[in-house]
């Protein structure tokens, strides 16, 4: 083996030990050259789990060509102005997001935040503060962390603003939204959040962040608590899902 090859191998080996996941595609796990530029490979970039095409201008869900807003947003106005969800909750994107939530794969928060950041950057928003969707204290203790907080902290670094965790708290434990219908979801999260520090968001542009947005009812409920005080309220989630 040539000495240069040996050095390269040693470098790769050390990088693998130091940052085992940092040089792999976050979706398929293959090796990639420039993680900082884009944390996924060329093959994954071509997949259909990116939220593109014609979408609701409020909640970012895919809608028919030439429509402007979806039926849900048309029927009931959301308390946030606009949502940004770069991925669809399906296939490899879903698997990867499930790992962030269930497998303690906290390192995924940074690349996911980066994908959200790239999407928000297109809009030239001026955000003062990021508020992650809070978890109930009991659920947080059980999991050991809140994935929305991890995302919020990473996004705040990228956007050069602050991220605060205890501005809004979840006071009531709710059922898992996954098993519920659209109507049940609205009722389930109704009034479960409380604004604890209104000065933190007063006259500020707020971005609420979560990992997945399905009906938007959870994010909406958090927005309700801040609406009387904040200047603008936006929302972001890594992936957009839909109720079947």
Burial 88-123 (b: 16+ CB within 10 A, else e): bbeebbbebbeebbeeebeebbbbbbbbbbebbeee
Residue with smaller CB distance to Zn ion, 163 or 212: 212
Residue 134 has what DSSP assignment?
A: P
Least distance (Å) from Zn ion to the CB of residue 26?
A: 8
Residue with smaller CB distance to Zn ion, 201 or 209: 209
Least distance (Å) from Zn ion to the CB of residue 72?
A: 5
Residue with smaller CB distance to Zn ion, 28 or 125: 28
Residue with smaller CB distance to Zn ion, 149 or 210: 210
- Interface residues with Zn ion (CB under 5 A) are 25, 27-28, 41, 44, 56, 58-59, 70, 73
3-state secondary structure of 80: coil
Least distance (Å) from Zn ion to the CB of residue 32?
A: 7
Helical residues (DSSP H) of the chain, grouped into ranges: 3-18, 42-45, 71-75, 91-102, 109-121, 137-143, 147-159, 182-189, 217-226
Least distance (Å) from Zn ion to the CB of residue 218?
A: 15
Least distance (Å) from Zn ion to the CB of residue 67?
A: 10
Residue with smaller CB distance to Zn ion, 27 or 89: 27
Please tell me the distance from the alpha carbon of residue 88 to that of residue 78, in angstroms, as a whole number: 20
């Amino acid at each position: 083996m040539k000495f240069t090859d040996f050095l390269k191998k040693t470098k790769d080996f050390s990088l693998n030990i130091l940052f085992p996941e940092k040089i792999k595609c976050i979706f398929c796990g293959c090796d990639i050259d420039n993680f900082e530029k884009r944390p996924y490979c060329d093959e994954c970039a071509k997949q259909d789990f990116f939220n593109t095409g014609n979408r609701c201008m409020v909640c970012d869900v895919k809608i028919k060509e030439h429509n402007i807003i979806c039926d849900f947003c048309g029927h009931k106005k959301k308390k946030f102005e606009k949502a940004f969800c770069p991925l669809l909750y399906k296939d490899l994107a879903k698997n990867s997001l499930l790992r962030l939530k269930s497998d303690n794969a906290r390192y995924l928060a940074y690349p996911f935040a980066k994908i959200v950041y790239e999407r928000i950057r297109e809009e030239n928003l001026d955000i003062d503060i990021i508020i992650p969707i809070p978890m109930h204290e009991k659920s947080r203790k059980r999991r050991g962390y809140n994935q929305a907080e991890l995302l919020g902290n990473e996004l705040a670094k990228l956007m050069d603003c602050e991220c605060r965790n205890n501005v809004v708290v979840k006071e009531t434990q709710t059922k898992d939204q996954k098993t519920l219908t659209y109507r049940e979801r609205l009722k389930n999260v109704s009034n479960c959040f409380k604004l604890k520090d209104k000065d933190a968001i007063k006259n500020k542009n707020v971005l609420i962040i979560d990992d997945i947005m399905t009906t938007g009812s959870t994010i909406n409920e958090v927005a309700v608590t801040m609406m009387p005080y904040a200047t603008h309220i936006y929302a972001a989630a890594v992936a957009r899902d839909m109720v079947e």
